[in-house]
Structure 1
Amino acid sequence: MPAPSTTNLSSIATIRFRARRHIEEGAITDDYGADRDTVLRLLNEALATEIVCSLRYKRHYHSAKGLTSLSIAQEFLQHAQEEELHAEKFANRITQLGGEPDYSPDTLSTRSHAEYLEGKSIVDMIREDLVAERIAIESYKEIIAYLGDADPTTRRLFEEVLAVEEEHAEDLRTLIHQIGASHTPAA
């Protein structure tokens, strides 16, 4: 196998020179290929989505009653905690890119891709969570495609979160089948 071409690689002296320019930009170097304002908006929307999902899961955790709901409640709690971790990762990336994480409760639900719908029964709760996971999956796939090679760090973050959201969706689908709710008509 031939060695990779070095014709596109910068000299160490050039890299050192560029690293010293615009040092106040932190992680954003001259070769950052994405529109930073758009990436920050997408990250803040994802932050809002994860917060809304965490809040909904926590509501469902506290609303799930009865012995048969105990394991489902624990699943809700686990998902809430994982959504909180995602939110923290998105906030960290926003800060790395020189932005401000937007935690404003006044606009949280309008920035979130997912809705905060409570559901009345356990089945309704699971269905609402599954819909929200599916929304996050589709949104994050589109964001990943948009980012491409322009911002590989943010793309990888979304890919990592996407993998967990897909696990959540599968968990919820399995719960619906386990409690025999697959025959309940969808809204």
Structure 2
Amino acid sequence: MAKNSSLASVQHKSVQHKQSFRLDKESIRAAAKEVDDGAVTDGYRGNRQEVLAMLNDALATELLCVLRYKRHYYTAKGMENESVKAEFLQHAQQEQEHADKIAERIVQLNGEPDFNPATLSRRSHAEYDESHGIKEMIRANLVEERVAIEAYRQMIERIGDGDPTTRHMLVQIMAQEEEHADDMADLLNL
């Protein structure tokens, strides 16, 4: 009998909690009419300048990764490496998608994506690679994927709950970078 009484009490509290929450629609609508900040509302709790700086560095990283994978795709030699080349090309395309998402988010936060090629390498977490052997290319890509994973992990941790949209995007990108690292590790072990 005590269990049923406890369960009913918990259910009642849960219903009470759900019923007691009310959105302040008028305040939300009034704040939403301040359109100068685009998608950024008064409830945004992130440090926008810091987030924009992190995102521009991540953008540089993704762009450099596109270039590295493209170079490896075009310079890898041998019919036996066609499947590896296809993997490089697929990763280059996915890294470009990451760059596009990041640039879009920068604009949503009222920033400007930095595509300046003169500063790309300096701002990137990853490094460019000019290896010639297929194993060296794979190893270089694995190392740089691991660098990207750790950089994203640290950014996600730093952002915390202050910017859930950016955090969610970075978690998705990091998950794909982990898949890339797995792919490169598998190729390295062939």
Tell me if both proteins adopt one fold, taking TM over 0.5 as the criterion.
Answer: yes
Matches within 5 A, 1:81-100: 81-100=93-112
2:79 paired with 1:67: yes
Matches within 5 A, 1:1-150: 1=11, 2-3=14-15, 4-5=17-18, 9-21=22-34, 23-150=35-162
Deviations 1:54-79 (A, max 9, x none): 10000000111111111100100000
| Alpha-carbon distance change, 42 to 116 in structure 1, aligned in 2, over 3 angstroms | same
Percentage of matched positions with identical amino acids: 50
Shift of 1:120: 2.4
Shift of 1:109: 0.4
d(CA) in 1 for partners of 2:150 and 2:124?
13
Contact 1:26 1:96 in 2 (8 A): yes
User: Residue 29 of structure 1: SS of its match in structure 2?
Assistant: coil
Taking structure 2 as the reference length, the TM-score comes to: 0.89
d(CA) in 2 for partners of 1:119 and 1:69?
15
Shift of 1:161: 0.4
Q: Larger helix proportion, structure 1 or 2?
A: 2
Contact 2:48 2:109 in 1 (8 A): yes
d(CA) in 1 for partners of 2:130 and 2:146?
16
d(CA) in 2 for partners of 1:6 and 1:15?
19
Deviations 1:1-36 (A, max 9, x none): 413456665411111111123x11011111110110
Q: Over alpha carbons, which structure has the higher Rg?
A: 2
Taking structure 1 as the reference length, the TM-score comes to: 0.91
d(CA) in 2 for partners of 1:99 and 1:6?
39
User: Residue 145 of structure 1: SS of its match in structure 2?
Assistant: helix
Contact 2:52 2:109 in 1 (8 A): yes
Unaligned ranges ≥5, structure 1: 179-187
Contact 2:61 2:126 in 1 (8 A): yes
Alignment size in residue pairs: 177
Q: Which amino acid aligns with 1:17?
A: A
Contact 2:76 2:132 in 1 (8 A): no
